[in-house]
Amino acid sequence: MTVTLGSNYLGNDRCEFTVWAPTLKDVAVVIADEDKQRAIAMEQQAEGYWKATAEGITPGTRYFYRLDGDLMRPDPAAHLQPDGVHGASAVVDPNAFSWSDRSWCNLPLEEYIIYELHVGTFTPEGTFEAIIPRLGVLKELGINAIEIMPVAQFPGDRNWGYDGVFPFAVQNSYGGPDKLKQFVDACHQQGIAVIIDVVYNHLGPEGNYLGDFGPYFTNKYRPLWGDAMNFDEEYSDGVRNFFIENALYWLREYHIDALRLDAIQAIFEMGARPFLQQLSDAVADLSEQEGRKFYITAESDLNDVRVLRPKELGGYGLDSQWCDDFHHVLHTLLTGESDRYYQDFGQIQQLVKSFKEGFVYDGVYAPHRKRRHGNSSKDQPAHQFIVFSQNHDQTGNRIGGDRLSDLISFDGLKLAAATVLLSPFLPFLFMGEEYGETAPFLYFVSHSDPDLIEAIRQDKQKEFTQGLKSGKFNNPQDVNTFNQCKLNWEKHQQGQHQILWNFYRRLIELRRTVPALKKLSKETLDCSCLKAENLLWVRRWTENSQVFYVINFSTNPVKFEPNVPEGNWQKILDSSEESWKGPGASLPDVIQPQKSISIPPLTVAVYQISG
């Protein structure tokens, strides 16, 4: 049972305040009215909680907590920081918004087609409300799940979101609580699920006041992004409650359908009951209470199936996770890059292994890591793996923030789309890739501390230039860095951008209408390659449906014999056709087993058995 935190508006100008501060001797709520201030003493509760119920509190009322008589701080569990991370918190009426999604009950996870977007750069306005008019286009494309990068309050008005310091507060510059609800409600009206990205491994540096309230952090571990969260030492129960209540808050109050947990490899603990397992149990309980399924997906570079296994088998019980190996081998095949972690990839047989199992590194030696890495995922269901050719990290952590559209040819972009969308896993698109967006996605911030700004600039410049190809460094604090990243949305209706958009739509249509592609299963899949020729072929089937597709990653034509059963194999997609801005179709409309055919360079072709 979790303890509800923050300001809980009860109606009739009454509000209950709850804060966790186990080591303090005196805590009060200070109402920050314009004409006067009043302090309300809080009563100490069990296990370090403080509580007070106040009269004369209306939605929008500003308040601070006064700690041990003099230190004034915003609420760690504030629902809104209208004046930014250093200002007063504001009371929010959770019932002020009228939902119209009563009939919505989420989608089966295996049907998700995920589209990641950053609220600030997806539209010129950079708000939740401005996204809504574009939902129809995404729906037409075939998207049915939108994943938004973190929207918990961060410093300033532009940031990736992973520097958030108020996990319960909806970013004010994006529109705040009601506008987020409006966005989610509109998505549900379109049949689109909403995934929100949450960060439970660290908080950002500016406006991070949690340490003033209690032992939220520990120096027991040495993470990359500041002090680790205290999930296993003294008082860790309160820290766990804070983040578990946060997860439930997004699902319950904002009707979010799934959570994406950022970088779980940076959640450090040694407890007997892992935090992630406890979180999974809490979300499962909420699913049962609400009568609809909520999902938890994770970003993890551990290649550890304990993330996905149920707790009865010693796992954490999460629903799915990102499969970085799939991206890395696809990226290296398309670009030829071999710097950083890409040196561990680049072989077509690795893509075969990923198609069949998920993880490429399953306990084998990884040269970049200089050790063996991972364990086997071959027994995990296919729908537990999320695959992509691009995402915010893989684009934004390049010195120029360059997308695949700047790195490979138009034919290569079609191969990237087909490899992801024809896979047996959950496909994930990064905003703009569906039409070949050319605007970069750079790293950007808007801090107020000059020393912090300079430290970030130096750190990112060093990071970007170590082991990377040369390119122009963009100062993260410069507003022009942010502005460069705004999508050129109108391009999706122009020239080859529209052709690529239509190609993505066709692939998604095939995935949703062809039974053999719709069924996500490793057991009904056969995959192999011609190693020297960089040719991949895949056959997938159900009882009444079979498809065979071949992807030529080579810049040369490749002759091969289709390894298919007897039947009438009809071509249903060929990226070399002129309609897809290819050189012209040369593949036969019908293929026969063991009869040689030649596939053009950088081409994908799909055949379906009929009759």
Taken in order of first residue, the domains within the chain and their CATH numbers are: 6-90 (2.60.40.10), 109-448+461-508 (3.20.20.80), 524-610 (2.60.40.1180)
Q: Is 299 considered catalytic here?
A: yes
Taking 60 as the threshold, does the pLDDT of residue 467 lie above it?
Answer: no
Catalytic residue among 147, 163, 206, 262: 262
Task: Return the SS3 of 10.
Answer: strand
Q: Are 573 and 604 in contact (CB under 8 A)?
A: yes
Give pTM, 2 decimals. 0.97
Taking 80 as the threshold, does the pLDDT of residue 95 lie above it?
Answer: yes
Taking residues 5-33, report their average pLDDT: 96
In tens, the pLDDT along 24-49 reads 999 999 998 767 789 999 999 999 99
Which pLDDT score, from 0 to 100, does residue 106 have? 97
Which pLDDT score, from 0 to 100, does residue 2 have? 80
Q: Is 262 considered catalytic here?
A: yes
Which pLDDT score, from 0 to 100, does residue 138 have? 98
In tens, the pLDDT along 354-367 reads 999 999 999 999 99
In tens, the pLDDT along 522-538 reads 999 999 999 999 999 99
Which pLDDT score, from 0 to 100, does residue 102 have? 93
In tens, the pLDDT along 324-334 reads 999 999 999 99
Distance of alpha carbon 408 from alpha carbon 438, whole angstroms: 12
Segments of 371-442 assigned E as strands = 371-373, 385-387, 426-430
Taking 70 as the threshold, does the pLDDT of residue 419 lie above it?
Answer: yes
In tens, the pLDDT along 208-250 reads 999 999 999 988 876 566 688 999 999 999 999 999 999 999 9
In tens, the pLDDT along 480-493 reads 999 999 999 999 99
CA-angle at 435, arms to 429 and 436, nearest 5°: 90
Taking 60 as the threshold, does the pLDDT of residue 468 lie above it?
Answer: no
Taking 70 as the threshold, does the pLDDT of residue 517 lie above it?
Answer: yes
* Per-residue confidence band for 610, with pLDDT thresholds at 50, 70 and 90: confident
Owner of token pair 């047989």 = 349
Q: Are 235 and 299 in contact (CB under 8 A)?
A: no
Rounded mean pLDDT of the chain? 95
Taking 60 as the threshold, does the pLDDT of residue 89 lie above it?
Answer: yes
Which pLDDT score, from 0 to 100, does residue 595 have? 92
Q: Are 549 and 422 in contact (CB under 8 A)?
A: yes
Distance of alpha carbon 469 from alpha carbon 339, whole angstroms: 8
Owner of token pair 């072929």 = 537
Question: What's the DSSP call for residue 5?
Answer: -
Q: Are 99 and 220 in contact (CB under 8 A)?
A: no
Distance of alpha carbon 382 from alpha carbon 471, whole angstroms: 38
CA-angle at 17, arms to 45 and 88, nearest 5°: 130
Which pLDDT score, from 0 to 100, does residue 225 have? 63
In tens, the pLDDT along 150-204 reads 999 999 999 999 999 999 999 999 999 999 999 999 999 999 999 999 999 999 9
Distance of alpha carbon 299 from alpha carbon 284, whole angstroms: 19
Task: Return the SS3 of 394.
Answer: helix
Distance of alpha carbon 446 from alpha carbon 429, whole angstroms: 27
Q: What's phi and psi for 311, nearest 5 deg?
A: -65, -25
* Per-residue confidence band for 1, with pLDDT thresholds at 50, 70 and 90: low
Residue 91, C-beta contacts closer than 8 angstroms, at least 6 positions apart? 7, 9, 15, 57, 58, 59, 60, 61, 63, 79
Taking residues 403-421, report their average pLDDT: 98
Taking 60 as the threshold, does the pLDDT of residue 378 lie above it?
Answer: yes
Question: What's the DSSP call for residue 113?
Answer: -
- Provide the token pair at 80: 């809104």
More confident residue, 467 or 608: 608
Catalytic residue among 163, 197, 206, 299: 299
Size of the chain, expressed as the number of residues it contains: 611
* Per-residue confidence band for 463, with pLDDT thresholds at 50, 70 and 90: confident
